[in-house]
Chains A and B, each alone.
Chain A
Amino acid sequence: MKSFTKVTGIAAPMDRANVDTDLIIPKQFLKSIKRSGFGPNLFDGLRYLDEGQPDQDNSKRPLNPDFPLNSPRYQGAQILLARKNFGCGSSREHAPWALDDYGFRCVIAPSFADIFYNNCFKNGLLPVVLTEDQVDQLFREMYKAEGYQLTVDLEQQSVTTPGGDTFHFEVDDFRKHCLLQGLDDIGLTLQDANAIEGYEAQRRKSAPWLFV
C-alpha cells in the first residue's frame, strides 16, 4: 500500500453534505474487475453533462462548466474539502479508488460515513475530521484565494493553512502506523496466525455446528 506522511497541495471543494458513494463513483463503473482507472469517472454525474458509460473515451464528453473540479484553478488538487457525512451509502471501495486514481491524497470533512472512512486507510488515502467551524474557515479561504494550498501532516496529525493556522486532528494509532509505513493489513494479521488457530480450536469445541 501507498504510504502517507505529509502532503502539501491544492485544495478543491465538494461543497455539499451527505455526498454518497454513488455520487463519488456511479454504479455503472463498478462493473470493472480492476482496481485502477476510476479517476476519469470520479463524480461522473456532476462532472459531465451526459451519462457516462464504462470503457468510453471520457476526453470527448461534455464537461459541466459549473463543477469546481473542471475549473482550471483546482487542477492538480490533492486535497478534497468536503462537508459532513461524506462517503455515505454503499460500501464500494471503488469510491476511495476513484479519489486516489484522480490524484487526491486526502479528504477533509467534519464527519465521514464509517465504511468509507475505513476504506480510505486501506488505500493510502487520508480522511481528516476537523470541526465544522474549521472546515467552514478552510472553505472560505479556499474560495477567496486561487491556488489555495494546505499541508496535511499525518505524523504531526495537523492541517496547516497558508495563513499559518494549524488544526489538530485525531486518528487512531494503528491506522496511523499502517498508513505512515504503507503496511499491508493481511501480512500484519498473519503474524497472529497462532492466535487465530487457537481461537478456532477453542471455538470448534464450544460451537461445533459452525465448523461442519
Chain B
Amino acid sequence: MAGKTLYDKLWDAHLVKQRNDGSALLYIDRHILHEVTSPQAFEGLRLAGRKPWRVEANIATPDHNVPTTTVERQAGVAGIADPVSKIQVQTLDDNCDEFGIQEFKINDVRQGIVHVVGPETGACLPGMTIVCGDSHTATNGALGALAHGIGTSEVEHVLATQCLVTKKMKNMLVKVDGKLPVGVTPKDVVLAIIGKIGTAGGTGHAIEFAGEVFRDMSMEGRMTVCNMAIEAGARAGMVAVDEKTIEYVKGRTFAPTGELWDAAVTQWRELHSDSDAQFDTVVEMRGEDIQPQVSWGTSPEMVVPVNGSVPDPESESDPTRRESIKSALAYMDLKAGQAITDIPVDVVFIGSCTNSRIEDIREAAKVVKGRTRAESVKRAMVVPGSGAVKAQAEAEGLHKVFLDAGIEWREPGCSMCLAMNADKLEPGERCASTSNRNFEGRQGYGGRTHLVSPAMAAAAAVTGRFVDVRELV
C-alpha cells in the first residue's frame, strides 16, 4: 500500500464518519470568526434554538471593517464612522458575548486579521483542522494543519456541530527545489506558482508545498505561500512540520506546555508525507528560475517577472484567454509590450493577511530606510496584520522608518486589501499592493492593483514605479 500524504494523515485523524455517498463528517478543532461572514450564521443558530457544540473551539476578531487610522480607532466600536461597518463589528461583539465565544475586540492587542492572529496566538496549531468563513484560511496550513475557508452556512454548521460536511480533495504536490536568488521572497514564489498553474490549477486539490525552497523558508514565508493557495484554485495549502514549525509554536499563548507540549511535539513530528506517498498531480519548479514578480492584470495568474513586459493579446491563441487579456489591459490601462518597469504607481499598500507579519514589515523597512516616498506617489501606507505585529514593529523602531519616509503607519486590519473600510483607491488609481487579489475594483471602485512582495512595494513607494528591488539593496 502506498504511503500517506500529509493531507491524508490530517484527513484520517479527523474523520468522524464516512458516508456512503462520498461525503464525510470531518471534525473541526479550531473555528475562527470575523464580522463579515458570521452574523447570518449566528442568526441561524438563534432561529433554530441551537447552541455552539464546543464553545472553546471558537475564537473571533473583527478585521475586514475596522478603521485603521489611530484617530478613528480611539473610541473603539463606537468611534467607527461608517454606520454600516459599525453595526457589523458591534454585531460580532454582541454575538460573541451572547454565545460565550472568546473574541479579541477592536482595541485588544491580540486583535488583527484572522489569519495573522490564528498562528501568532497559538490558537492554530500543527495537526489541527482549522476553518473560518474566509478563503485565506489556508494560511494556517503553513503549520502543518488542514485549514481552509468555508461559507456562512458552513460557519453555522461548524458552530452547531463542530463538524464540516465535506468530501476529500485530491492531493497535489508543488515541489520547488534549488535556491532562490537573493532578493526573491515567498510572495514571488507563490505568484510564480500561480502564474504557472493558473487560478484554477489547484481546483479540487489540497496543495502540499514541498522541496528545498520551502524547507529553507521561514514560517511566516510559508504562511504567505499557503495564504495564496486559493488564488491557485485550491482550498487548502500546507507545508510539512519540521523543527522550524515546532520552534515557531513554542511559547505562544494558546500552545500546550509541559507534558502536553512533549506529547504534542511527538505527534507533530509525524506530520509530513510519507516518502512513498502518491499525489494525483505534481508540479515541479526550480527556485533559481524565480524572479521578483509583478501582476499586470485582473487575475493573480496574470503575472510576470519585474524585468518582463505586459503580454500581447494577439499572441494568445485561445479566444477566451485572448478576450480576458484584452479586457484586463483595458481595465488596467496598460499597453501590450509595455515594460513593467515603465509602469508608474500612485498608491502603495503594504499589508493584508498575505504580507503583514513582522518579517514583511522588516523587509519593507529595509528598502525604505534612508529613502523617502517618491513625489509622484500620492499615498503609501503600511498596515500591520495585528496589534502584536504593530507592537513588535514599533519596539524595533520600524514605524519611524516609514513615517520619516512619508509613509503612513496604521492600526491593524484588512484595510485596503479589500477596501471595506475607508482605505480605498480612487477610480483610475494604480496601486502596488502586497495583498492577494487584483480583481476589478478589489481595492476600490475603478482602482488598479498590481500584486507584489513587500520589498517590491517598498521599492515602488520610493521610486514611483516598479523596479527590481535588487537594484536598491
| A interface with B by C-beta (< 8 Å) | 16-18, 20, 22-23, 26-28, 30-35, 45, 51, 54-55, 83-85, 88-93, 111, 113-115, 118-119, 122-123, 172-175, 177, 185-186, 188-190, 192-193, 195-196, 199-200, 203, 207-212
Q: Are B439 and A89 in contact (CB under 8 A)?
A: yes
Q: A26-B441, A27-B420, A45-B441 are in contact. List 4 more A-B contacts (CB 8 A).
A: A22-B442, A172-B22, A196-B27, A200-B54
| B interface with A by C-beta (< 8 Å) | 16-17, 19, 21-23, 25, 27, 29, 36-37, 39-40, 43, 48, 50, 53-54, 56, 64-65, 82, 84-85, 87-88, 91, 125, 127-128, 133-135, 149-154, 156-157, 160-163, 165, 167, 199-200, 203-204, 233, 235, 256, 260-261, 263-264, 267, 299, 320-321, 323-324, 327, 418-420, 437, 439-442, 445-446
Residues from chain A with a CB closer than 8 A to the CB of B88 are: 31, 33
**Number of contacts between A and B (CB, 8 Å)?**
178
23 A-B pairs, CB-CB below 8 angstroms? A16-B324, A17-B321, A22-B437, A27-B418, A31-B65, A83-B320, A85-B200, A85-B203, A91-B133, A114-B203, A115-B151, A115-B235, A122-B154, A189-B25, A189-B163, A192-B16, A196-B53, A209-B125, A209-B260, A209-B261, A210-B125, A210-B128, A212-B260
Q: Are B25 and A186 in contact (CB under 8 A)?
A: no
Residues from chain A with a CB closer than 8 A to the CB of B22 are: 172-174
Q: Are A18 and B153 in contact (CB under 8 A)?
A: no
Residues from chain B with a CB closer than 8 A to the CB of A172 are: 21-23, 167
Minimum CB distance partner of B36 in chain A? A30
Which residue of B21, B56, B134, B260 contacts A208 across the interface (Cβ within 8 Å)? B260
Residues from chain B with a CB closer than 8 A to the CB of A51 are: 445-446
Residues from chain A with a CB closer than 8 A to the CB of B40 are: 33-35, 93
Take A31-B420, A88-B199 as given contacts and tell me if A185 and B440 are in contact as well, using a CB distance cutoff of 8 Å.
no
Take A16-B324, A91-B149 as given contacts and tell me if A186 and B233 are in contact as well, using a CB distance cutoff of 8 Å.
no
Q: How far is the CA of A164 from the CA of B65 in the complex (A)?
A: 50
Q: How far is the CA of A32 from the CA of B199 in the complex (A)?
A: 29
Residues from chain A with a CB closer than 8 A to the CB of B56 are: 211
Residues from chain B with a CB closer than 8 A to the CB of A45 are: 440-441, 445
A187 nearest CB across to chain B (Å): 8
Residues from chain A with a CB closer than 8 A to the CB of B27 are: 196, 199-200, 203
Minimum CB distance partner of B236 in chain A? A114
Residues from chain B with a CB closer than 8 A to the CB of A118 are: 151, 154
Residues from chain A with a CB closer than 8 A to the CB of B163 are: 189, 196
Q: How far is the CA of A174 from the CA of B177 in the complex (A)?
A: 41
Take A23-B439, A122-B154 as given contacts and tell me if A18 and B199 are in contact as well, using a CB distance cutoff of 8 Å.
yes
A140 nearest CB across to chain B (Å): 14
Q: How far is the CA of A17 from the CA of B420 in the complex (A)?
A: 25
Residues from chain A with a CB closer than 8 A to the CB of B54 are: 200
Residues from chain A with a CB closer than 8 A to the CB of B84 are: 31-32, 54-55
Take A33-B39, A84-B320 as given contacts and tell me if A23 and B235 are in contact as well, using a CB distance cutoff of 8 Å.
no
Q: How far is the CA of A22 from the CA of B113 in the complex (A)?
A: 19
Which residue of B25, B87, B154, B263 contacts A195 across the interface (Cβ within 8 Å)? B25
Residues from chain B with a CB closer than 8 A to the CB of A210 are: 29, 125, 128
